[in-house]
Structure 1
Amino acid sequence: MLKKYYELIDSINKSIIRNATDEFDSFSVLWLDNSVNTTQENIHGQNLFRSSIGHLKTFDNVDRCEEYIRATPIDERLIFIVSGRLGRILTPRIHHLRQVSSIYVYCLDKTINEQWAVGYTKVKEIITSFPKLIEKIQEERSKRSENEVNEILPFSVSSQQHDFIASQLLTNVLLSHLLPIQNDKSQLVNLLKEKYYDIDAELKLLQAFEQNYSANQALDWYMRDSCIYRVLKRAIRQQNLKLLLSFRFFLQDVHQIIESKKCTSPVRVYRSQLLTKSELTEIYNSINHFISINTFFSTSICRELVLMFLNQSSNDLERVMFEIDADPNHMLSKPFCFIESNTCFRQTEEVLFTIGSVFRLTELHQEADGLWIVRLTSCADEDEKQLKEIFKPYYLDDKINLIAFGNLLIKLNRLADAEKFFVQLINEYVDQPCHLADCYFALGIIAEERKMYDVSLDWHKTSLEIKVKNLSENDISLAESYKHIGEIHLQKSDYKQALAAYLRALNVSLQVYDENHVRVAMCYTKLGGIYQKQEDYKDALSCYKKALAIQQKQPSDDNPDVGIAYNNVAIIYACLNQYDLAFECYEKALENLQRTLSPLHLEVAVSYCGLGLICEHKNEFEKALSFYEKTGVIYRQTLSSTHADVIEIERHIRRISSKL
């Protein structure tokens, strides 16, 4: 079943034309030169470049190059190589773009090009030797702290609660709740070897990683300039679940080292960052909320050193300094540690926070020189209570409810991530049938959301088969499966199968709940809709009336479901030509809905339109026009001008107007 599903997904993906840069490495290199693909020297340079650094895209046309740069996502970092003449043309047009990390002018005349380039801070150097050019770019990529300043900082704030919860749960799942499997490392290495097959330097590093890696070396490998670090950082930043699952052994090893070396005394540390105005606004709107830094977060105890990294200029970015008071006694089990100076990392006195560290956002202000200061503090004991309350629905016995986390991804419409997660859980839960059934059920919902109804039906049936074998016949989970199976058959216009599934859902629901429970009413409503589709108005009316009776018995006076149920009953009365009864039900529906819903809610429009149709049938054209116009007001403000309901109501209004 999984194989069949992925064959279908692959066929869909292949039909999509992607206009994106490399998904593995955030640093790509562009080379613009009129003769970049024609002279033997430049072709040799390309081969030398690709074998030593990696991804390179060449252009011989200024406009096409600019178009590519502007289409590059802002979380990419482009190193731009350009000839002197074309550099003078294009540099002013692209210098301010965040995607452009640095510019190297590769030319014959260094002196003349230094004159125009002096005003552009991203122009790192004017170079006349290709080996020197490669050396400088390699050196730039290895400058970890300088590069991180201009990278997207992945963070989420508790004021955006669902995203905050999802990022925290994902981190905790990867660090402790999904144990690595034996071949995780070999799978990751094979994946990277396939991607970097023609880059000698990376292949040598991957070979060393494959042969010599051990858990106690994880931090050294993380600090090393290699595709391992760059791919991991990008996967974290984009929350690429497929890649993160491949890296989980490495993430856990780095985290464990930070834990083993964790600080035991409070520290004040600093981190410089270039942020967009919208990112800064999000921080401003989240003062006194929590902020989760969704990556391994490097900081320094030396404020002056960190300020040196904020020497880049951009019209669209703000210079920001994070000041963090970190107390290991209040870190909610998220550790941080000092990084020892070594040959792979030049900066001393660095403090590294583990991925997913949470702080309280206490202050944001701007200093006289334009520098923004963001103050963060460790979460105190009272914060821990508040955070536990936020995450309470997603934990069972102090362990993450993995099914609930996956369902949260679906709720956030992160269907691809949710799909990968539940497929992974199938491997985890192979010996736990009830959890296994939940995974198949979730995959069924994902396929249903994608309108892949046949695939969804297969998933739901697989889930149901497991449930029938392992659950009691009155378990409400069975009803949920029957409902989704019924809904899919309804979407496929297979009313016979839809009816059979919803009748089973009703039978289970009546065994579990009181006969006046709202879930029973929902079953009756669905059954009424199926009978209505089949023009079996007698049975449709019976079901709709039962649903109405249940909704009327609910304790709340502000229950719009009563009005919706009245609308359903009214529609059937109208189909049976019992117009007085239909009119009476529409009026009762309207009275309820005007009290419980927005005046522009579409269900209110259903009542107005129904009343208009009945008045027209009775030749009460002025009343009919009034109801149609009220319907039109709602439709025009909530639906597009091309929507079928808008077109239909306009036709009604014109028809009635012609009769007056």
Structure 2
Amino acid sequence: MMDNQISTATVASGRATMTTTDSITVLPTHLHRILQNFLLIWLDANFNESEEDFKKSIQHLRHIVASIRTFTDANECVNFLRKIKEEKAFIIVSGSLGQRIIPEIQALPQLDSVYVFCDDKSVHEQWAKTIPKIKGVYTDIKAICKALQADREDCDRAMISLSFNGIDPLFMYTQLLKEVLLEIKDDDTKSVKEFVDFCRCQEEDIDEEEIDQFEREYRSDKSIWWYTAETFIYPMLNRSLRLMEVDIILKMGFFIQQLHQDIENLHRDQQSTNTASIAVFEVFRGQRLSLEDFDKVKKTKGGLMSFNNFLSTSRNYNRALEWFARPAALRDPSSVGILFVMTIDRTLCAQSSIPFADVKNVGAFKDKEEEILFSTHTVFRIEDIKRIQDDQTDRLWKVNLTLIGNNNHDLNTLTVSIREELKLKAAQGLSRLGFILIKIGEFSKAEQLYQILLEKASSNKDQADYNLLLGSVKEDTVSKSIDGRDETDENECEYWPCNNTYTRCDGLWSCKDGADEVNCPSSTCPEFQHSCVFLNDTSTVSCLPIARAGDGIVDCLGEKPSLKLRHMSVYPPQLTTHETTSVILSSTHGKIQLARYFNVNLLNASIITE
């Protein structure tokens, strides 16, 4: 295939599915739906998709990542990558193309890991070492598969949904959402068949052999095995809960309810037979956390956070630290490694009906892991945050959490008014999920939910009710102006974070540290860094880590006094004694210091104070 041809292929079930026009192969206009937290991109200018080696390589890779895209044109590949919003991407790239494009795209937050695939490792190892997201240089596809397997597991662990009290609007509805999910009632036989049929329609993202296995072997008492096994179930369920994908949540409702019930039953059996167990014990979870989420952890210290999915933990401290937390800390600088240390009170769990179970004898890896599995939407208080001393990294942290019960005062205070409003609106059953979606601003998903429920409605009354709810979604999306911005009358304004849909990348710092203005399309800096002209080098635009923004220390110069913040991202090329410029400082003292530093007259400089 010629290098100047553009070829992209969607690889599914061991075969390539392509749309071809005049010998140029392009992606279909409407990309298929992704059902996992990740996808694999393979870029090589010399693909020969008819070769047996290529087909075997795809088969090996699909056992790890179901959704694969292949490209021969670098520009097409980069454009595709930039459009990814909700998933993480792994990239296999040839040495020559990798050396050209990876430095350009390495800062993209959707890019997780890169694997350089070439004939001669020595040619590419040197430049590859300079890019943290490159996991290695490989000459064998099986070695890539081994590395990809570990990175896929790390990615799944890192992409669980977290919400924080006072920051994320979703946290207010944590307990209500849990109740809705666990009250989904389905005919198991019918639901399993409908779920299998749906999965077969997603052949580009689910291995057909796994679907066949699920159809043959799934039983209601085997949900824990299926959740812990390396199949499509775990990533599909966690993704749907993370993104609130209502259609998949409904299709997997039978599994969510059964998994909770199996954990509950196993918990009851284990507590009755282990009467001598210690009342209070610790479990551990190591994972990668984005700098944005870690900032939320620090801001919520002393407050509450929720894991919005089924939560896997370990009784083994060293395993959680060495297998998960520490490797995560050694990855790229846009994330940290976290060791969650969770204190669990058995008595509190019994009083609050919070089930957890030791699944080592019923999970997919019997006797190999000391895994404790909690039911969905478990809430903890953040007690303490400390850095773990490590010779190789300063991005390894320990976060101490304490499990809280359903009768916690802070939690109940949040939910009591919501329950009253539900009573007034007579919201029942799954319609409560629509209420939650509207409250957190997910209007299109609420509309989708009501449309699904309308199609399933069996009585005229139910149809009328859902039609009414569909109409209410339209009413709730009518905007009104608040401080010059379009917001809705259903938003919980006091819980809106400074970094939200309306403030992202608008050129104005709404957050003290400018968190709403990092990772923007126009940014030339790595993740979570601002453009900055440092005081000691006014001729160069550099980058400032977000952790140093808004810390009370002047680092950068700027020319946008309207922003009224300390650290600005734009500055004239060079200060001279003949120029008059507007300099943003946090104090008069800073103005005097700067004048001495540059030996210039800054009497006309703007002084912005908080």
Bin for the TM-score computed over the shorter chain: 0.5 to 0.7
C-alpha change, 1:334 and 1:443, in structure 2 (3 Å) is same
**Which residue matches 1:442?**
469
Residue of structure 2 aligned with 1:113, choices 112, 118, 124: 124
Q: CA contact under 8 A between 2:308 and 2:378: conserved in structure 1?
A: yes
**Which residue matches 1:348?**
369
One-letter identity of the residue aligned with 1:241: V
Residue of structure 2 aligned with 1:322, choices 324, 340, 345: 340
**Which residue matches 2:69?**
57
**Which residue matches 2:381?**
360
**Which residue matches 1:127?**
138
Task: Please report how far the alpha carbon of residue 210 of structure 1 lies from its aligned counterpart in structure 2 after TM superposition.
Answer: 1.1
* Partner-residue secondary structure (3-state), 1:261: helix
Separation in structure 2 between the aligned mates of residue 439 and residue 191 of structure 1, nearest angstrom: 24
Summarize the alignment of residues 234-249 of structure 1 with structure 2, pairs less than 5 Å apart.
Answer: 234-249=239-254
The structure with the greater share of residues assigned to helix is: 1
Summarize the alignment of residues 503-514 of structure 1 with structure 2, pairs less than 5 Å apart.
Answer: none
One-letter identity of the residue aligned with 1:89: R
Task: Please report how far the alpha carbon of residue 442 of structure 1 lies from its aligned counterpart in structure 2 after TM superposition.
Answer: 1.3
Summarize the alignment of residues 206-285 of structure 1 with structure 2, pairs less than 5 Å apart.
Answer: 206-262=211-267, 264=271, 265-285=279-299
Separation in structure 1 between the aligned mates of residue 434 and residue 317 of structure 2, nearest angstrom: 41
C-alpha change, 1:432 and 1:344, in structure 2 (3 Å) is farther
C-alpha change, 1:28 and 1:51, in structure 2 (3 Å) is closer
**Which residue matches 1:419?**
447
Q: CA contact under 8 A between 1:236 and 1:244: conserved in structure 2?
A: yes
One-letter identity of the residue aligned with 2:437: L
Separation in structure 1 between the aligned mates of residue 36 and residue 367 of structure 2, nearest angstrom: 23
One-letter identity of the residue aligned with 1:174: L
The structure with the greater share of residues assigned to strand is: 2
Residue of structure 2 aligned with 1:174, choices 181, 190, 201: 181
Q: CA-to-partner distance for each residue in 1:168-215, whole Å, 9 max, x for gaps?
A: 32232111254456521111111111112697xx22221121122111
Asked if 1:337 is matched to 2:357, the reply is: yes
Residue of structure 2 aligned with 1:157, choices 146, 158, 164: 164
C-alpha change, 1:329 and 1:176, in structure 2 (3 Å) is farther
Asked if 1:190 is matched to 2:204, the reply is: no
* Partner-residue secondary structure (3-state), 2:46: coil
Q: CA-to-partner distance for each residue in 1:327-354, whole Å, 9 max, x for gaps?
A: 2322432211222166647852122111
**Which residue matches 2:5?**
none
Separation in structure 1 between the aligned mates of residue 223 and residue 432 of structure 2, nearest angstrom: 31
Task: Please report how far the alpha carbon of residue 225 of structure 1 lies from its aligned counterpart in structure 2 after TM superposition.
Answer: 1.2
Task: Please report how far the alpha carbon of residue 437 of structure 1 lies from its aligned counterpart in structure 2 after TM superposition.
Answer: 4.4
C-alpha change, 1:195 and 1:134, in structure 2 (3 Å) is farther
Q: CA contact under 8 A between 1:270 and 1:303: conserved in structure 2?
A: yes
Residue of structure 2 aligned with 1:89, choices 100, 108, 112: 100
Task: Please report how far the alpha carbon of residue 445 of structure 1 lies from its aligned counterpart in structure 2 after TM superposition.
Answer: 1.8
Separation in structure 2 between the aligned mates of residue 448 and residue 382 of structure 1, nearest angstrom: 35
Q: CA-to-partner distance for each residue in 1:229-254, whole Å, 9 max, x for gaps?
A: 22122112111111011001111111
**Which residue matches 1:303?**
317
Separation in structure 1 between the aligned mates of residue 338 and residue 32 of structure 2, nearest angstrom: 28
Q: CA-to-partner distance for each residue in 1:23-59, whole Å, 9 max, x for gaps?
A: 2122211111111257846754576467655322122
One-letter identity of the residue aligned with 2:466: C
* Partner-residue secondary structure (3-state), 2:201: helix
Which consecutive residues of structure 2, in runs of 5 or more, have no partner in the other structure? 1-27, 272-278, 479-610
Task: Please report how far the alpha carbon of residue 424 of structure 1 lies from its aligned counterpart in structure 2 after TM superposition.
Answer: 5.0
Task: Please report how far the alpha carbon of residue 135 of structure 1 lies from its aligned counterpart in structure 2 after TM superposition.
Answer: 4.4
Asked if 1:33 is matched to 2:33, the reply is: no
Task: Please report how far the alpha carbon of residue 222 of structure 1 lies from its aligned counterpart in structure 2 after TM superposition.
Answer: 0.9
Separation in structure 1 between the aligned mates of residue 334 and residue 366 of structure 2, nearest angstrom: 30
Separation in structure 1 between the aligned mates of residue 406 and residue 40 of structure 2, nearest angstrom: 47
One-letter identity of the residue aligned with 1:327: D
* Partner-residue secondary structure (3-state), 1:54: coil
Asked if 1:375 is matched to 2:375, the reply is: no
C-alpha change, 1:380 and 1:354, in structure 2 (3 Å) is closer
C-alpha change, 1:196 and 1:120, in structure 2 (3 Å) is same
Separation in structure 2 between the aligned mates of residue 424 and residue 335 of structure 1, nearest angstrom: 31
Separation in structure 1 between the aligned mates of residue 135 and residue 117 of structure 2, nearest angstrom: 11
What's the Cα RMSD here?
Answer: 3.5
C-alpha change, 1:333 and 1:431, in structure 2 (3 Å) is farther
Q: CA contact under 8 A between 1:225 and 1:344: conserved in structure 2?
A: no
Task: Please report how far the alpha carbon of residue 293 of structure 1 lies from its aligned counterpart in structure 2 after TM superposition.
Answer: 0.7
* Partner-residue secondary structure (3-state), 1:270: strand
Separation in structure 2 between the aligned mates of residue 375 and residue 180 of structure 1, nearest angstrom: 41
C-alpha change, 1:71 and 1:50, in structure 2 (3 Å) is same
* Partner-residue secondary structure (3-state), 2:331: coil
**Which residue matches 2:306?**
292
Task: Please report how far the alpha carbon of residue 163 of structure 1 lies from its aligned counterpart in structure 2 after TM superposition.
Answer: 1.5
C-alpha change, 1:315 and 1:138, in structure 2 (3 Å) is closer
One-letter identity of the residue aligned with 2:378: S
Separation in structure 1 between the aligned mates of residue 79 and residue 455 of structure 2, nearest angstrom: 44
One-letter identity of the residue aligned with 1:250: F
Residue of structure 1 aligned with 2:414, choices 390, 394, 408: 390
Q: CA contact under 8 A between 2:35 and 2:236: conserved in structure 1?
A: yes
Separation in structure 2 between the aligned mates of residue 36 and residue 287 of structure 1, nearest angstrom: 51
Q: CA contact under 8 A between 2:360 and 2:367: conserved in structure 1?
A: no
Separation in structure 2 between the aligned mates of residue 304 and residue 19 of structure 1, nearest angstrom: 46
Separation in structure 1 between the aligned mates of residue 406 and residue 471 of structure 2, nearest angstrom: 41
One-letter identity of the residue aligned with 1:377: T
Separation in structure 1 between the aligned mates of residue 201 and residue 49 of structure 2, nearest angstrom: 29
Which consecutive residues of structure 1, in runs of 5 or more, have no partner in the other structure? 1-16, 452-660
Separation in structure 1 between the aligned mates of residue 54 and residue 211 of structure 2, nearest angstrom: 27
**Which residue matches 2:514?**
none
**Which residue matches 1:462?**
none
Q: CA contact under 8 A between 1:51 and 1:198: conserved in structure 2?
A: no
* Partner-residue secondary structure (3-state), 2:112: strand
**Which residue matches 1:100?**
111
One-letter identity of the residue aligned with 2:281: V
Separation in structure 2 between the aligned mates of residue 19 and residue 208 of structure 1, nearest angstrom: 30
One-letter identity of the residue aligned with 1:321: L
Separation in structure 1 between the aligned mates of residue 406 and residue 248 of structure 2, nearest angstrom: 35
One-letter identity of the residue aligned with 1:359: F
Task: Please report how far the alpha carbon of residue 99 of structure 1 lies from its aligned counterpart in structure 2 after TM superposition.
Answer: 2.9
One-letter identity of the residue aligned with 1:172: E
Asked if 1:410 is matched to 2:424, the reply is: no
Q: CA contact under 8 A between 2:116 and 2:136: conserved in structure 1?
A: yes
| Structure showing greater relative contact order (alpha-carbon pairs closer than 8 Å, 6 or more residues apart) | 2
Q: CA contact under 8 A between 2:225 and 2:364: conserved in structure 1?
A: no
**Which residue matches 1:537?**
none
More displaced, 185-194 or 278-287? 278-287
Separation in structure 2 between the aligned mates of residue 236 and residue 411 of structure 1, nearest angstrom: 17
One-letter identity of the residue aligned with 1:362: E
Separation in structure 2 between the aligned mates of residue 289 and residue 401 of structure 1, nearest angstrom: 30
One-letter identity of the residue aligned with 1:302: N
